[in-house]
Structure 1
Amino acid sequence: MDPIAVIKSNLEMFTKSEKRIALFILNDPIRIVQYSAEEIAKAAGSSKSAFIRLCQKVGYRGYSEFRFSLSKYLISHKAKENKEETIAQSITTVYSENIRQIAQNITDSTIEKVCRTMTNSSKIKILGNNRTGLAAHQLRMRMAKIGMDSEFVSDTILMNDIVSSLTKEDLVIVFSIKGMSYYEEVVKQIEANGIESILITMTPNSPLNKYFDTIITLPLVSRATSRFLDDQAIFFVFIEILLAELAETDDSSKE
Protein backbone atom coordinates (compact mmCIF):
# COMPACT_ATOMS: atom_id res chain seq x y z
CA MET A 1 0.00 0.00 0.00
CA ASP A 2 1.24 3.50 -0.88
CA PRO A 3 0.19 5.57 2.19
CA ILE A 4 0.84 8.89 0.45
CA ALA A 5 -1.39 8.01 -2.50
CA VAL A 6 -4.12 6.73 -0.15
CA ILE A 7 -4.13 9.98 1.84
CA LYS A 8 -4.27 12.08 -1.34
CA SER A 9 -7.21 10.09 -2.70
CA ASN A 10 -9.15 10.40 0.57
CA LEU A 11 -8.58 14.07 1.43
CA GLU A 12 -12.22 15.02 0.95
CA MET A 13 -13.49 12.45 3.45
CA PHE A 14 -11.42 13.82 6.35
CA THR A 15 -12.73 16.22 8.98
CA LYS A 16 -11.05 19.64 9.31
CA SER A 17 -8.77 18.45 12.13
CA GLU A 18 -7.89 15.27 10.24
CA LYS A 19 -7.21 17.23 7.04
CA ARG A 20 -4.72 19.47 8.87
CA ILE A 21 -2.74 16.36 9.78
CA ALA A 22 -3.14 14.89 6.28
CA LEU A 23 -1.67 18.04 4.70
CA PHE A 24 1.13 18.04 7.25
CA ILE A 25 1.96 14.45 6.28
CA LEU A 26 1.94 15.24 2.56
CA ASN A 27 4.15 18.31 3.03
CA ASP A 28 6.74 16.63 5.27
CA PRO A 29 6.34 12.81 5.33
CA ILE A 30 9.81 12.17 6.82
CA ARG A 31 8.78 13.90 10.04
CA ILE A 32 5.98 11.38 10.52
CA VAL A 33 8.41 8.47 10.97
CA GLN A 34 10.61 10.54 13.27
CA TYR A 35 8.02 12.21 15.55
CA SER A 36 5.67 10.73 18.11
CA ALA A 37 1.93 10.89 17.48
CA GLU A 38 1.66 13.70 20.06
CA GLU A 39 4.43 15.73 18.39
CA ILE A 40 2.84 15.33 14.95
CA ALA A 41 -0.61 16.38 16.19
CA LYS A 42 0.84 19.44 17.93
CA ALA A 43 2.94 20.46 14.92
CA ALA A 44 -0.10 20.11 12.66
CA GLY A 45 -2.32 22.11 15.01
CA SER A 46 -4.62 19.17 15.59
CA SER A 47 -5.05 16.36 18.15
CA LYS A 48 -3.69 12.88 18.67
CA SER A 49 -7.19 11.40 18.49
CA ALA A 50 -7.73 13.05 15.08
CA PHE A 51 -4.46 11.55 13.88
CA ILE A 52 -5.45 8.07 15.05
CA ARG A 53 -8.83 8.43 13.27
CA LEU A 54 -7.05 9.43 10.07
CA CYS A 55 -4.81 6.36 10.26
CA GLN A 56 -7.85 4.13 10.70
CA LYS A 57 -9.78 5.78 7.87
CA VAL A 58 -7.00 4.98 5.39
CA GLY A 59 -6.84 1.33 6.41
CA TYR A 60 -4.44 1.09 9.37
CA ARG A 61 -5.13 0.00 12.93
CA GLY A 62 -3.37 3.02 14.38
CA TYR A 63 -0.34 5.29 14.27
CA SER A 64 2.30 2.56 14.75
CA GLU A 65 1.08 0.53 11.78
CA PHE A 66 0.74 3.65 9.61
CA ARG A 67 4.22 4.85 10.64
CA PHE A 68 5.76 1.49 9.75
CA SER A 69 4.07 1.47 6.34
CA LEU A 70 5.14 5.05 5.63
CA SER A 71 8.72 4.28 6.66
CA LYS A 72 8.86 1.32 4.25
CA TYR A 73 7.42 3.48 1.49
CA LEU A 74 9.94 6.30 2.03
CA ILE A 75 12.91 3.93 2.12
CA SER A 76 11.84 2.12 -1.07
CA HIS A 77 11.03 5.44 -2.77
CA LYS A 78 14.45 6.80 -1.84
CA ALA A 79 16.10 3.63 -3.09
CA LYS A 80 14.45 4.06 -6.49
CA GLU A 81 15.78 7.62 -6.70
CA ASN A 82 19.30 6.50 -5.76
CA LYS A 83 19.68 3.11 -7.41
CA GLU A 84 23.47 3.39 -7.53
CA GLU A 85 23.82 4.24 -3.82
CA THR A 86 24.26 1.31 -1.44
CA ILE A 87 22.84 1.18 2.08
CA ALA A 88 26.36 1.67 3.47
CA GLN A 89 26.88 4.73 1.29
CA SER A 90 23.50 6.17 2.23
CA ILE A 91 24.00 5.81 5.98
CA THR A 92 27.61 6.98 6.05
CA THR A 93 26.66 10.02 3.94
CA VAL A 94 23.97 11.05 6.41
CA TYR A 95 26.30 10.64 9.39
CA SER A 96 29.19 12.47 7.72
CA GLU A 97 26.94 15.39 6.76
CA ASN A 98 25.65 15.68 10.33
CA ILE A 99 29.13 15.38 11.82
CA ARG A 100 30.27 18.27 9.62
CA GLN A 101 27.34 20.30 10.95
CA ILE A 102 28.79 20.07 14.47
CA ALA A 103 31.62 22.42 13.46
CA GLN A 104 29.11 24.71 11.74
CA ASN A 105 26.80 24.86 14.77
CA ILE A 106 29.43 25.42 17.47
CA THR A 107 32.06 28.14 17.53
CA ASP A 108 35.59 27.69 18.85
CA SER A 109 34.88 30.33 21.50
CA THR A 110 31.93 28.31 22.82
CA ILE A 111 34.05 25.14 23.11
CA GLU A 112 36.83 27.12 24.81
CA LYS A 113 34.33 28.62 27.26
CA VAL A 114 32.94 25.17 28.12
CA CYS A 115 36.45 23.80 28.68
CA ARG A 116 37.47 26.73 30.92
CA THR A 117 34.33 26.20 32.97
CA MET A 118 35.09 22.49 33.31
CA THR A 119 38.74 23.00 34.32
CA ASN A 120 37.82 25.69 36.87
CA SER A 121 35.02 23.72 38.56
CA SER A 122 35.48 22.01 41.91
CA LYS A 123 33.14 19.08 41.14
CA ILE A 124 31.70 17.98 37.81
CA LYS A 125 28.52 15.93 37.62
CA ILE A 126 27.44 14.59 34.23
CA LEU A 127 23.76 13.65 33.91
CA GLY A 128 22.09 11.50 31.28
CA ASN A 129 19.10 9.20 31.25
CA ASN A 130 18.43 6.08 29.20
CA ARG A 131 20.16 6.55 25.81
CA THR A 132 21.79 9.85 26.78
CA GLY A 133 23.16 8.03 29.81
CA LEU A 134 25.58 6.35 27.39
CA ALA A 135 26.87 9.75 26.26
CA ALA A 136 27.20 10.96 29.85
CA HIS A 137 29.14 7.82 30.76
CA GLN A 138 31.36 8.20 27.70
CA LEU A 139 32.27 11.78 28.63
CA ARG A 140 33.16 10.71 32.15
CA MET A 141 35.35 7.86 30.81
CA ARG A 142 37.12 10.08 28.29
CA MET A 143 37.75 12.80 30.89
CA ALA A 144 39.38 10.20 33.13
CA LYS A 145 41.82 9.45 30.30
CA ILE A 146 43.29 12.96 30.66
CA GLY A 147 43.19 12.94 34.46
CA MET A 148 39.99 14.94 35.00
CA ASP A 149 37.68 13.71 37.74
CA SER A 150 33.91 13.69 37.31
CA GLU A 151 30.87 11.64 38.21
CA PHE A 152 28.24 10.32 35.81
CA VAL A 153 24.64 9.84 37.02
CA SER A 154 21.79 8.19 35.11
CA ASP A 155 19.26 7.62 37.91
CA THR A 156 16.79 10.54 37.94
CA ILE A 157 16.03 10.14 41.66
CA LEU A 158 19.72 10.12 42.54
CA MET A 159 20.22 13.20 40.34
CA ASN A 160 18.06 15.31 42.67
CA ASP A 161 19.98 14.15 45.74
CA ILE A 162 23.37 14.85 44.19
CA VAL A 163 22.48 18.26 42.74
CA SER A 164 21.01 19.46 46.04
CA SER A 165 24.45 19.16 47.68
CA LEU A 166 26.36 21.12 45.02
CA THR A 167 27.50 24.75 45.26
CA LYS A 168 28.44 27.65 42.98
CA GLU A 169 31.95 26.19 42.67
CA ASP A 170 30.60 23.09 40.94
CA LEU A 171 29.37 22.23 37.44
CA VAL A 172 26.51 20.12 36.11
CA ILE A 173 26.54 18.88 32.50
CA VAL A 174 23.24 17.49 31.20
CA PHE A 175 22.85 15.37 28.06
CA SER A 176 19.28 15.44 26.74
CA ILE A 177 18.20 14.93 23.12
CA LYS A 178 14.83 16.62 23.54
CA GLY A 179 15.11 18.34 26.93
CA MET A 180 12.70 15.93 28.56
CA SER A 181 10.44 17.05 31.41
CA TYR A 182 11.84 14.48 33.87
CA TYR A 183 14.84 16.80 34.24
CA GLU A 184 12.69 19.73 35.30
CA GLU A 185 13.01 19.33 39.08
CA VAL A 186 16.75 18.73 38.72
CA VAL A 187 17.35 21.86 36.65
CA LYS A 188 15.23 23.96 38.98
CA GLN A 189 17.45 22.81 41.84
CA ILE A 190 20.53 23.65 39.76
CA GLU A 191 19.21 27.17 39.20
CA ALA A 192 18.20 27.61 42.86
CA ASN A 193 21.70 26.64 44.06
CA GLY A 194 23.40 28.90 41.53
CA ILE A 195 25.33 25.96 40.07
CA GLU A 196 27.10 26.48 36.75
CA SER A 197 25.31 24.36 34.14
CA ILE A 198 25.76 23.16 30.56
CA LEU A 199 23.06 21.53 28.42
CA ILE A 200 24.15 19.35 25.49
CA THR A 201 21.03 18.78 23.42
CA MET A 202 19.68 18.26 19.90
CA THR A 203 16.58 20.40 20.34
CA PRO A 204 17.17 24.14 19.73
CA ASN A 205 14.04 25.30 21.57
CA SER A 206 14.02 22.87 24.47
CA PRO A 207 11.84 24.01 27.40
CA LEU A 208 14.84 23.40 29.66
CA ASN A 209 17.04 25.96 27.87
CA LYS A 210 16.09 28.83 30.18
CA TYR A 211 17.65 27.07 33.17
CA PHE A 212 21.17 26.66 31.71
CA ASP A 213 24.16 28.97 31.52
CA THR A 214 25.52 27.38 28.34
CA ILE A 215 23.65 25.41 25.66
CA ILE A 216 25.32 23.22 23.03
CA THR A 217 22.94 22.25 20.20
CA LEU A 218 24.05 19.33 18.05
CA PRO A 219 22.52 17.99 14.81
CA LEU A 220 19.72 15.45 15.24
CA VAL A 221 20.71 12.71 12.81
CA SER A 222 17.67 10.54 13.63
CA ARG A 223 15.45 13.15 11.99
CA ALA A 224 17.67 13.76 8.98
CA THR A 225 16.48 10.66 7.14
CA SER A 226 13.67 8.14 6.98
CA ARG A 227 16.07 5.46 8.22
CA PHE A 228 16.05 4.68 11.94
CA LEU A 229 19.48 6.06 12.80
CA ASP A 230 20.82 6.55 16.32
CA ASP A 231 22.02 9.88 17.69
CA GLN A 232 24.77 8.49 19.93
CA ALA A 233 27.44 8.80 17.21
CA ILE A 234 26.90 12.57 17.11
CA PHE A 235 27.26 12.86 20.89
CA PHE A 236 30.41 10.72 20.81
CA VAL A 237 32.05 12.82 18.07
CA PHE A 238 31.28 15.99 20.01
CA ILE A 239 32.82 14.42 23.12
CA GLU A 240 36.05 13.80 21.17
CA ILE A 241 36.09 17.46 20.08
CA LEU A 242 35.55 18.52 23.69
CA LEU A 243 38.22 16.14 24.95
CA ALA A 244 40.81 17.45 22.47
CA GLU A 245 40.14 21.03 23.58
CA LEU A 246 40.24 19.98 27.25
CA ALA A 247 43.62 18.34 26.75
CA GLU A 248 44.98 21.54 25.16
CA THR A 249 43.48 23.68 27.93
CA ASP A 250 45.05 21.45 30.56
CA ASP A 251 48.45 21.52 28.83
CA SER A 252 48.47 25.30 28.52
CA SER A 253 47.61 25.73 32.21
CA LYS A 254 50.74 23.71 33.14
CA GLU A 255 53.13 25.84 31.07
Structure 2
Amino acid sequence: MKLNEFLKPNNVEFSKSDKKIYDVVLKHPAHVQLMTIQKLATDAQTSVASVQRYCKKIGYTGFKEFKFQLKNYLLQRFDFEKNNSSYLSNYLKVANSFKNIEEDKISDFAEALVNSKHNYIIGIYYSSIPAKQLAMGMQDLNKISFCADNYLAASHWVGLIEEEDTLVVFSVSGNDPYIKKYISEPLSKLSRTYLITFNPDTKLSKYFKNCIVLPGKAFANNSAIDPQSLFSLFVEMIINHIARS
Protein backbone atom coordinates (compact mmCIF):
# COMPACT_ATOMS: atom_id res chain seq x y z
CA MET A 1 0.00 0.00 0.00
CA LYS A 2 1.31 3.41 -0.95
CA LEU A 3 1.34 6.25 1.59
CA ASN A 4 -1.32 8.25 -0.25
CA GLU A 5 -3.61 5.19 -0.14
CA PHE A 6 -2.96 4.76 3.59
CA LEU A 7 -3.89 8.39 4.22
CA LYS A 8 -6.91 8.40 1.88
CA PRO A 9 -8.80 5.13 1.35
CA ASN A 10 -10.56 4.97 -2.02
CA ASN A 11 -14.06 5.00 -0.54
CA VAL A 12 -13.55 8.21 1.47
CA GLU A 13 -14.66 11.65 0.31
CA PHE A 14 -12.49 14.51 1.62
CA SER A 15 -13.59 17.97 2.69
CA LYS A 16 -11.32 20.99 2.19
CA SER A 17 -10.02 20.59 5.77
CA ASP A 18 -9.39 16.88 5.24
CA LYS A 19 -7.35 17.68 2.13
CA LYS A 20 -5.20 20.21 4.05
CA ILE A 21 -4.44 17.65 6.78
CA TYR A 22 -3.75 14.95 4.17
CA ASP A 23 -1.29 17.22 2.33
CA VAL A 24 0.68 18.02 5.51
CA VAL A 25 0.97 14.37 6.59
CA LEU A 26 1.80 13.19 3.06
CA LYS A 27 4.64 15.70 2.81
CA HIS A 28 6.13 15.04 6.26
CA PRO A 29 4.87 11.65 7.50
CA ALA A 30 7.78 11.10 9.90
CA HIS A 31 7.14 14.47 11.57
CA VAL A 32 3.69 13.38 12.73
CA GLN A 33 5.13 11.07 15.40
CA LEU A 34 6.44 14.09 17.30
CA MET A 35 3.46 16.35 16.64
CA THR A 36 0.64 17.18 18.99
CA ILE A 37 -2.81 17.37 17.48
CA GLN A 38 -2.64 21.14 17.96
CA LYS A 39 0.61 21.37 15.95
CA LEU A 40 -0.83 19.34 13.08
CA ALA A 41 -3.96 21.50 13.06
CA THR A 42 -1.81 24.66 12.95
CA ASP A 43 0.41 23.36 10.14
CA ALA A 44 -2.68 22.38 8.16
CA GLN A 45 -4.32 25.76 8.87
CA THR A 46 -7.38 24.03 10.29
CA SER A 47 -8.79 23.07 13.71
CA VAL A 48 -8.21 20.31 16.27
CA ALA A 49 -11.78 19.14 15.70
CA SER A 50 -11.05 18.85 11.95
CA VAL A 51 -8.01 16.65 12.64
CA GLN A 52 -10.12 14.38 14.84
CA ARG A 53 -12.80 14.14 12.15
CA TYR A 54 -10.15 13.32 9.53
CA CYS A 55 -8.75 10.49 11.69
CA LYS A 56 -12.20 9.01 12.28
CA LYS A 57 -13.17 9.39 8.63
CA ILE A 58 -10.26 7.16 7.52
CA GLY A 59 -11.07 4.51 10.11
CA TYR A 60 -9.43 5.37 13.44
CA THR A 61 -10.85 6.22 16.86
CA GLY A 62 -8.86 9.45 16.94
CA PHE A 63 -5.48 11.12 16.47
CA LYS A 64 -3.69 8.85 18.97
CA GLU A 65 -4.60 5.65 17.11
CA PHE A 66 -3.87 7.30 13.76
CA LYS A 67 -0.32 8.18 14.90
CA PHE A 68 0.22 4.63 16.17
CA GLN A 69 -0.91 3.04 12.91
CA LEU A 70 1.08 5.53 10.82
CA LYS A 71 4.19 4.66 12.82
CA ASN A 72 3.65 0.93 12.17
CA TYR A 73 3.13 1.62 8.48
CA LEU A 74 6.39 3.55 8.23
CA LEU A 75 8.29 0.87 10.16
CA GLN A 76 7.08 -1.78 7.73
CA ARG A 77 7.81 0.34 4.70
CA PHE A 78 11.38 1.33 5.53
CA ASP A 79 14.40 -0.61 6.73
CA PHE A 80 14.96 1.43 9.90
CA GLU A 81 18.44 0.15 10.65
CA LYS A 82 19.61 1.09 7.18
CA ASN A 83 17.74 4.39 7.43
CA ASN A 84 19.51 5.38 10.67
CA SER A 85 22.90 4.73 9.07
CA SER A 86 22.06 6.75 5.97
CA TYR A 87 20.62 9.55 8.14
CA LEU A 88 24.01 10.32 9.67
CA SER A 89 25.70 10.16 6.27
CA ASN A 90 23.14 12.52 4.78
CA TYR A 91 23.42 14.87 7.75
CA LEU A 92 27.19 15.10 7.38
CA LYS A 93 26.82 15.62 3.64
CA VAL A 94 24.42 18.54 4.17
CA ALA A 95 26.58 20.03 6.93
CA ASN A 96 29.63 19.86 4.67
CA SER A 97 27.73 21.65 1.90
CA PHE A 98 27.35 24.71 4.15
CA LYS A 99 30.82 25.75 2.98
CA ASN A 100 29.17 26.49 -0.38
CA ILE A 101 26.96 29.24 1.05
CA GLU A 102 27.98 32.45 -0.68
CA GLU A 103 30.48 34.40 1.40
CA ASP A 104 28.82 37.66 0.35
CA LYS A 105 25.55 36.57 1.96
CA ILE A 106 27.28 35.63 5.20
CA SER A 107 29.18 38.92 5.28
CA ASP A 108 26.09 40.98 4.48
CA PHE A 109 24.03 39.26 7.19
CA ALA A 110 26.80 39.58 9.75
CA GLU A 111 27.27 43.27 8.90
CA ALA A 112 23.53 43.92 9.30
CA LEU A 113 23.50 42.32 12.75
CA VAL A 114 26.55 44.29 13.88
CA ASN A 115 25.50 47.67 12.50
CA SER A 116 21.85 47.63 13.52
CA LYS A 117 20.61 49.50 16.56
CA HIS A 118 18.68 46.45 17.79
CA ASN A 119 18.24 42.91 16.48
CA TYR A 120 14.82 41.26 16.59
CA ILE A 121 14.93 37.50 15.95
CA ILE A 122 12.01 35.09 15.56
CA GLY A 123 12.00 31.30 15.53
CA ILE A 124 8.86 29.20 15.98
CA TYR A 125 8.73 25.72 17.55
CA TYR A 126 12.02 23.91 16.83
CA SER A 127 13.41 26.99 15.11
CA SER A 128 13.19 28.84 18.43
CA ILE A 129 16.46 27.21 19.55
CA PRO A 130 18.71 28.72 16.82
CA ALA A 131 16.83 32.03 17.09
CA LYS A 132 17.62 32.17 20.80
CA GLN A 133 21.20 31.09 20.08
CA LEU A 134 21.68 33.97 17.62
CA ALA A 135 20.18 36.51 20.04
CA MET A 136 22.40 35.32 22.89
CA GLY A 137 25.46 35.27 20.65
CA MET A 138 24.86 38.86 19.61
CA GLN A 139 24.29 39.86 23.24
CA ASP A 140 27.67 38.34 24.07
CA LEU A 141 29.07 40.61 21.36
CA ASN A 142 27.46 43.60 23.11
CA LYS A 143 24.62 44.06 20.62
CA ILE A 144 21.12 44.56 22.00
CA SER A 145 19.13 41.63 20.64
CA PHE A 146 15.68 40.20 21.35
CA CYS A 147 14.19 36.79 20.63
CA ALA A 148 10.58 35.56 20.33
CA ASP A 149 9.34 32.00 19.93
CA ASN A 150 5.80 32.92 18.83
CA TYR A 151 4.28 35.57 16.59
CA LEU A 152 1.95 36.94 19.25
CA ALA A 153 4.97 37.90 21.36
CA ALA A 154 6.74 39.28 18.29
CA SER A 155 3.72 41.41 17.42
CA HIS A 156 4.38 43.45 20.58
CA TRP A 157 7.66 44.60 19.00
CA VAL A 158 5.84 46.46 16.23
CA GLY A 159 5.72 49.80 18.06
CA LEU A 160 9.34 49.46 19.21
CA ILE A 161 11.12 48.55 15.98
CA GLU A 162 12.99 51.42 14.31
CA GLU A 163 14.41 51.85 10.81
CA GLU A 164 17.95 51.22 12.10
CA ASP A 165 17.01 47.74 13.38
CA THR A 166 17.35 44.29 11.84
CA LEU A 167 14.58 41.67 11.80
CA VAL A 168 15.41 37.97 11.32
CA VAL A 169 12.97 35.06 10.91
CA PHE A 170 13.98 31.38 10.91
CA SER A 171 11.53 29.11 9.06
CA VAL A 172 12.44 25.58 7.92
CA SER A 173 9.57 25.25 5.43
CA GLY A 174 9.26 28.90 4.46
CA ASN A 175 5.49 28.39 4.39
CA ASP A 176 4.46 30.00 7.65
CA PRO A 177 1.05 31.68 7.14
CA TYR A 178 1.32 33.88 10.24
CA ILE A 179 4.33 35.95 9.20
CA LYS A 180 2.31 38.44 7.16
CA LYS A 181 -0.50 38.55 9.74
CA TYR A 182 1.61 39.50 12.76
CA ILE A 183 4.75 41.27 11.51
CA SER A 184 3.80 42.80 8.15
CA GLU A 185 4.36 46.36 9.41
CA PRO A 186 8.05 46.00 10.40
CA LEU A 187 8.68 43.92 7.29
CA SER A 188 7.51 46.81 5.10
CA LYS A 189 9.26 49.47 7.19
CA LEU A 190 12.75 48.01 7.63
CA SER A 191 15.52 47.84 5.07
CA ARG A 192 17.27 44.98 6.90
CA THR A 193 14.94 41.98 7.04
CA TYR A 194 16.13 38.40 6.64
CA LEU A 195 14.34 35.10 6.09
CA ILE A 196 16.51 32.04 6.82
CA THR A 197 14.99 28.89 5.34
CA PHE A 198 15.65 25.57 3.60
CA ASN A 199 12.98 26.18 0.96
CA PRO A 200 14.30 27.76 -2.26
CA ASP A 201 10.72 28.09 -3.54
CA THR A 202 9.34 29.94 -0.52
CA LYS A 203 6.64 32.48 -1.36
CA LEU A 204 7.49 34.39 1.80
CA SER A 205 10.69 35.78 0.26
CA LYS A 206 8.66 38.62 -1.31
CA TYR A 207 8.03 40.04 2.18
CA PHE A 208 11.74 40.17 3.07
CA LYS A 209 14.54 42.32 1.68
CA ASN A 210 16.89 39.32 1.97
CA CYS A 211 16.33 35.56 1.83
CA ILE A 212 19.11 33.11 2.71
CA VAL A 213 18.36 29.57 1.53
CA LEU A 214 20.42 26.96 3.33
CA PRO A 215 21.33 23.67 1.60
CA GLY A 216 19.45 20.53 2.62
CA LYS A 217 15.80 20.93 1.59
CA ALA A 218 15.32 17.20 0.94
CA PHE A 219 17.01 16.33 4.23
CA ALA A 220 14.80 18.81 6.12
CA ASN A 221 11.64 17.40 4.57
CA ASN A 222 12.54 13.80 5.44
CA SER A 223 13.85 14.42 8.94
CA ALA A 224 11.62 13.28 11.82
CA ILE A 225 11.94 16.75 13.38
CA ASP A 226 12.79 20.14 11.97
CA PRO A 227 16.60 20.13 11.69
CA GLN A 228 17.25 23.03 14.06
CA SER A 229 20.81 21.80 14.53
CA LEU A 230 21.56 22.84 10.93
CA PHE A 231 20.15 26.28 11.66
CA SER A 232 22.41 26.33 14.73
CA LEU A 233 25.38 25.44 12.54
CA PHE A 234 24.59 28.46 10.37
CA VAL A 235 24.33 30.64 13.49
CA GLU A 236 27.77 29.42 14.59
CA MET A 237 29.15 30.41 11.21
CA ILE A 238 27.70 33.92 11.53
CA ILE A 239 28.89 34.46 15.11
CA ASN A 240 32.40 33.21 14.25
CA HIS A 241 32.50 35.48 11.20
CA ILE A 242 31.63 38.47 13.38
CA ALA A 243 34.09 37.49 16.10
CA ARG A 244 36.93 37.17 13.57
CA SER A 245 36.07 40.57 12.13
**Same fold flag (TM > 0.5):** yes
2:136 to 135, 141, 150: 141
The amino acid that maps onto 2:128 is G
For 1:30 and 1:66, locate their aligned partners in 2 and report how far apart those are by CA, in whole Å: 16
For 1:109 and 1:29, locate their aligned partners in 2 and report how far apart those are by CA, in whole Å: 37
The amino acid that maps onto 1:136 is A
Say if 1:196 and 1:213, in contact at 8 Å, map to a contact too: yes
* 2:108 is the counterpart of 1:113: yes
Say if 1:164 and 1:189, in contact at 8 Å, map to a contact too: no
* Percent of paired sites with the same residue: 23
Offset, 1:79: 1.8
2:235 to 232, 235, 239: 239
Offset, 1:39: 7.0
* 2:133 is the counterpart of 1:166: no
The amino acid that maps onto 1:229 is I
TM-score normalised by the chain length of structure 2: 0.69
CA 1:137–1:117: 2 relative to 1, 3 Å: same
Say if 1:198 and 1:212, in contact at 8 Å, map to a contact too: yes
CA 1:171–1:120: 2 relative to 1, 3 Å: same
Count of residue correspondences: 228
For 1:157 and 1:17, locate their aligned partners in 2 and report how far apart those are by CA, in whole Å: 30
For 1:210 and 1:128, locate their aligned partners in 2 and report how far apart those are by CA, in whole Å: 19
* 2:88 is the counterpart of 1:92: yes
Offset, 1:4: 5.3
Offset, 1:143: 2.7
Question: 1:61 aligns to what?
Answer: 61
CA 1:100–1:61: 2 relative to 1, 3 Å: farther
The Cα RMSD (Å) is 4.1
Offset, 1:52: 6.1
- SS class of match (1:175): strand
CA 1:229–1:191: 2 relative to 1, 3 Å: closer
For 2:103 and 2:4, locate their aligned partners in 1 and report how far apart those are by CA, in whole Å: 47
Question: 1:197 aligns to what?
Answer: 193
For 1:243 and 1:90, locate their aligned partners in 2 and report how far apart those are by CA, in whole Å: 30
For 1:86 and 1:16, locate their aligned partners in 2 and report how far apart those are by CA, in whole Å: 32
Say if 2:169 and 2:194, in contact at 8 Å, map to a contact too: yes
Say if 1:198 and 1:214, in contact at 8 Å, map to a contact too: yes
CA 1:3–1:140: 2 relative to 1, 3 Å: same
Question: 1:77 aligns to what?
Answer: 77
The amino acid that maps onto 2:143 is D
Offset, 1:37: 7.4
Note the residue ranges of structure 2 that are not aligned, 5 or more in a row. Answer: 33-39
CA 1:182–1:74: 2 relative to 1, 3 Å: same
Please give the residue correspondences for 1:8-47 in structure 2 after superposition, counting only pairs within 5 Å: 11=10, 13=11, 31-34=28-31, 36=40
For 1:91 and 1:30, locate their aligned partners in 2 and report how far apart those are by CA, in whole Å: 18
Question: 1:45 aligns to what?
Answer: none
2:179 to 180, 183, 200: 183
The amino acid that maps onto 2:156 is D
- Larger-Rg structure: 1
Deviation sequence 1:90-148 (CA, Å, 0-9, x none): 442242233234445x3222112212222222222222334322211111222344x24
Offset, 1:16: 9.0
Note the residue ranges of structure 1 that are not aligned, 5 or more in a row. Answer: 42-47, 251-255
For 2:182 and 2:240, locate their aligned partners in 1 and report how far apart those are by CA, in whole Å: 29
Question: 1:229 aligns to what?
Answer: 225
Question: 1:123 aligns to what?
Answer: 118
TM-score normalised by the chain length of structure 1: 0.67
Offset, 1:211: 1.5
